[in-house]
A and B are shown apart, each in its own frame.
Chain A
Amino acid sequence: MSNIAGTKSSLNWAVQISVVLLVVLWIFPTVGLFVSSFRTADQISSTGWWKALFPTEQSETLRAADPDDFAVQLDDGTWAVTGNLYEEGAQASISSWGTSSRDISAYVPGDIADLGDGETITMNETGDYVWTSVEQPSGRGQRVFVTATNPPEFTLENYDTVLGEGVIQSILIYAAAAAVVAVVVGFATKSVGLSNFKMAAYLSGIVVFLVLSLVYGLGTGQGGGQASDNMAKAFFNTLTVTIPATIIPITVAAFAAYALAWMDFPGRALLIAAIVGLLVVPLQLALIPLLRLHLQIGIGKGYLGVWLAHTGFGMPLAIYLLRNYMAGLPRDIIENARVDGATEYQIFTRIILPLSFPALASFAIFQFLWTWNDLLVALVFLIDSSGQTTVMTRQIVELLGTRGGNWEILATAAFVSISVPLIVFFAMQKYLVRGLLAGSVK
């Protein structure tokens, strides 16, 4: 029997290792984006992001200070420019350097390079240099090529550029404060014995975050230029599209789902079949006819149009999910309520809606993710030529086109756009999974 036990444990190890590999493979791309959003443009283009976590050796071209401003005449009549090649705070350690692009590692720190015409330059490991000259030097600062080991370095600069000065810092601080409050409230309500203490914790966290940002504002209000204006605006536009487009279909679909689940009327079965059929109708078909309709009846391109469109496109899934869930609720409760003289409206609002909370939450997450991540519907029904109503996905596609090389902006913008769905995803994964299971496996 021992060999069977042996194979079992070795198989178990193989399983563990392959799961680790799969998980690493799966999160690797996202981590790449995340890490890149904290690196400067130079860092991104000089090394792959996977090297960013370790000290890297990189070759750079740097210049000594401008001799016209910084040259000092020494007592013996020669001139000298002293200083450090790096900006303040850099912690590079130079391993070799050179003064000609043909031989960039001709010297090690401490060597003195002869530049000809009586000029010499020397430097130590940290980039402190002394550039001396017999004549008064002029023109641009001396160019040097250094190969140095730089410690890992991360910056919030990109977020300042994309979101505006100081925005990310205040968001992080407020989020930390909100998390602390949420934890305290969660424990407090749990010890009091409130059954949905998690909900209380979430809500208090969100309230604290909103109050802090309303009272103290986000950042200094100083924009980081065009990119920041557009991205911050696009963020709010996306929110403006998403929230009504999530809440309105739920309200409408809940009533319809109740009618389909608990009311008897001719044609009910047919209607349910029709909704199952409409679940898969590609929304591509709706683009031209509905855009035309919107233009004819005067809605035009704008928020109202996109809200209506998302409501329509989300409706089959909403009705389907909610009906399946409501149909599974115990019949006794509803019939007892009917016997007790409750109206259908009362049964719906007092009994069905509270009991259906998990299904409502599942659909809300679906619809939220789908509207937040949507590009096509926004392109067709929302974004007009003025460009005032652009959403984040559109903004990112635009950046991909115009600034395909500006990875620091692109990565940061993309990460800002995916961070909100990710937060929702991790906070409410349970409901998402439940909804998926209800929607597909029957």
Chain B
Amino acid sequence: MNPALQGLITILFGVGGCVAYFYLSNLFLDKVLFPARGKNAGQNINRANMVRPWLFLAPALVALGLYLAYPVVETFRLSVTERLPGGASQFVGFENYRRMLAEDKFWEAMRNNMLWLLIVPAAATAMGLLVAQLTDRIKWGSFAKSLIFMPMAISFVGAAVIFKLIYDARPAGQSQIGILNAMWLEFDGGIGSIIILQIIPILIFAFFAVVVFYAAWITAGPVIKPNPHSQISTVFKALRIVAAAIFVWLGVLAALNVVDVATAQFDYGQPQTWLTIPFWNNFFLMVVLIWIQTGFAMVILSAALRGIPEETVEAAVVDGANPFQIFFKIKIPQIMGTIVVVWTTITIVVLKIFDIVFAMTNGQWETQVLANYMYDKLFRSNDWGVGSASAMVIMLLVTPILVWNVYNARKEMR
């Protein structure tokens, strides 16, 4: 049968079936089970109204339970069992986890995922905020926004093809068809190359290092020099110290990068196969996701910027604040809540990232990420134990955000 026809029939059956279910089950409830007449009419109406929500909810609850809740439990069970020949399985405790932790590839995936987690949400949110602010007051802003928003509609696989064309490399001597290599070959080791490839990155890294050290200082400040007037709880003290430690670590990394870049020897005149350069290729993959997610961040932050009360900005203008002060000291604090939401939403996308890596490098050249590692284990090595264990790791990483979302949702409903 023609698949298009088959699809059409399914739509008719699926939608018709759903509607028929809701209609008939309501009819059954009202006319047969608890008819609203006879001597129990009042009681029957009440009973029917108690059952009805569950009739409306039933298909959705089955779908949710079967496709999202049950797999969490079942994956956990699979992660602590081992498959035996013949379909049986045996409890092995944390053996699968131990085997997974012993694998280099797993740690590579963890490291890369952390890199992604660190960079993509930050970069996409920052770019989104920048575009939202810049387009806010110009006439053709909505047109510009819709073009920057466009990659949201493009599949990760499509984006992978688009960026493979950008990263394409031809042997030296042939004309390059990847724009990145074409630009790279323009560098010849002269003073221009040194400015662009070394001095500017050094400045960026140094600036970043200073910013995170400063952030570390601010975070740790109240713990080191306690303010006698305000007591902070031990939990927050601990959190502050952890955050400060992370900032310090980032700062040290950035400082080390300054040294790296300053002493780097570049391969001028040689076309580079960008996706095979270990460590740095991760960044070339991240660019793809940042390109897609910036539009998302921009749309939401732009709405938040519009929602800022005009008076606060006007008051700042009257007080003589310059545009930068208005942006950083007036606007940003007021949309902090939205920034956090955007950040966490992109974080979840990053944790599940699969298609981009699968299509562009398939985890070769040290670009493995957790979701692709899991796919490898489940469907290539057929190792359900370790595959499920790595799926549980992804779940574990998502859990804090899950708890935070539920907590906020409960707070709002009260």
By a beta-carbon cutoff of 8 Å, the part of chain A in contact with chain B is 11-12, 15-16, 18-19, 22-23, 26-30, 32-33, 36, 44-50, 236-237, 239-241, 243-244, 247-249, 251-253, 255-256, 258-260, 263, 265, 268-269, 271-290, 293, 303-304, 307-309, 311-313, 315-316, 319, 343-345, 348, 369, 372-376, 379-380, 393, 396-397, 400, 404, 407, 410-411, 414, 417-418, 421-422, 424-426, 429, 432-433, 436-437, 440-442
Contact = CB atoms under 8 A, between A and B. Distances in A.
Interface of B: 3-4, 6-7, 10-11, 14-15, 18-19, 22-23, 26, 30, 49-50, 52-54, 56-57, 59-61, 63-64, 66-72, 74-75, 78, 130-131, 134-135, 137-138, 141, 144, 146-158, 160-166, 168, 170, 175-179, 182, 291, 294, 296, 299-300, 303-304, 323, 338, 341-342, 345, 348, 351-352, 354-355, 358-359, 371, 374-375, 378-379, 384, 387-388, 391-392, 394-395, 398, 401-402, 405-406, 408-410, 412-413
Nearest to A421: B153
A110 B402 CA distance: 77
Given A277-B406, A282-B351, A285-B71, A251 B15 contact: yes
B161 A253 contact: no
B4 A239 contact: yes
B398 A303 contact: no
Contact of B387 (A48, A237, A288, A424): A288
Nearest to B322: A7
Contact of B75 (A260, A288, A293, A369): A288
A407 B165 CA distance: 8
B413 A400 contact: no
Given A282-B394, A375-B155, 17 more contacts: A23-B147, A249-B63, A280-B398, A281-B398, A286-B75, A289-B70, A289-B71, A303-B3, A373-B155, A375-B358, A375-B359, A376-B354, A404-B164, A424-B153, A426-B150, A432-B152, A442-B341
23 contacts: A19-B134, A22-B131, A23-B148, A27-B147, A32-B166, A33-B165, A47-B175, A48-B175, A236-B4, A244-B10, A251-B19, A255-B59, A263-B53, A276-B409, A285-B391, A286-B68, A286-B71, A286-B75, A303-B7, A308-B63, A315-B60, A424-B153, A425-B150
Contacts of B410: 269, 273
A115 to B, nearest CB: 27
Tell me what chain A mostly uses at the interface: helix, strand, loop, or mixed.
Answer: helix
B6 A240 contact: yes
A400 B64 contact: no
Contacts of B19: 251
Given A280-B405, A319-B60, A343-B26, A29 B162 contact: yes
Contact of A437 (B67, B300, B384): B300
Nearest to B354: A376
B413 A272 contact: yes
Contacts of A278: 64, 68-69
Shortest 9 CB-CB contacts between residues of A and residues of B: A312-B67, A373-B155, A256-B60, A425-B153, A289-B74, A259-B56, A240-B7, A286-B71, A414-B161
A36 B162 CA distance: 10
B171 to A, nearest CB: 12
A282 B395 contact: yes
Nearest to A433: B299
Contacts of A19: 131, 134-135, 138, 141, 144
A186 B57 CA distance: 39
A285 B374 CA distance: 10
Given A50-B179, A259-B53, A307-B10, A312 B68 contact: yes
B153 A315 contact: no
Contact of B150 (A290, A373, A422): A422
Nearest to A369: B153
B304 A280 contact: no
Nearest to A388: B3
Given A29-B166, A236-B4, A252-B60, A247 B161 contact: no
Contacts of A274: 64
For chain B, what secondary structure do more than half of its interface residues adopt (helix, strand, loop), or is it mixed? helix
Contacts of B348: 280
B146 A255 contact: no
Contacts of B72: 281, 285
Contacts of B163: 29
B177 to A, nearest CB: 5
A400 B161 CA distance: 8
A418 to B, nearest CB: 4
A344 B52 contact: yes
A104 B413 CA distance: 78
B50 A265 contact: yes
A138 B98 CA distance: 74
A259 B138 contact: no
Given A47-B177, A285-B394, A375-B155, A440 B342 contact: yes
Contact of B402 (A280, A304, A344, A393): A280
Contact of B155 (A46, A240, A249, A372): A372
B391 to A, nearest CB: 5
Nearest to B335: A441
Given A280-B401, A313-B67, A400-B160, A265 B378 contact: no
A400 B304 CA distance: 40
B22 to A, nearest CB: 6
B182 A239 contact: no
B154 A418 contact: yes
B123 to A, nearest CB: 14
Contacts of B392: 285
A276 B341 CA distance: 14
B345 A400 contact: no
Contact of A411 (B154, B161, B352): B161
Given A307-B14, A315-B60, A32 B71 contact: no
A29 B141 CA distance: 21
Q: Which of B405, B409, B412 has the most CB of A within 10 A?
A: B409
Contacts of B388: 288
Nearest to B127: A22
Contact of A421 (B70, B154, B354, B409): B154
Contacts of A237: 3
A240 B3 contact: yes
Given A256-B57, A285-B395, A372-B155, A48 B352 contact: no
A287 to B, nearest CB: 6
Nearest to A404: B164
A396 B157 contact: yes
A442 B412 contact: yes
Given A26-B291, A273-B410, A393-B157, A282 B398 contact: yes
Contact of A252 (B18, B164, B300, B378): B18
A277 B161 CA distance: 34
Contacts of A343: 26, 30
Contacts of B150: 26-27, 30, 422, 425-426
A260 B144 CA distance: 38
A75 to B, nearest CB: 46
Contacts of B291: 26, 29
Contacts of B154: 30, 373, 418, 421-422
A46 B160 CA distance: 22
B53 A15 contact: no
Contacts of B153: 369, 418, 421-422, 424-425
B6 to A, nearest CB: 7
A30 B70 contact: no
Contacts of A369: 152-153
Given A19-B135, A282-B352, A426-B146, A248 B300 contact: no
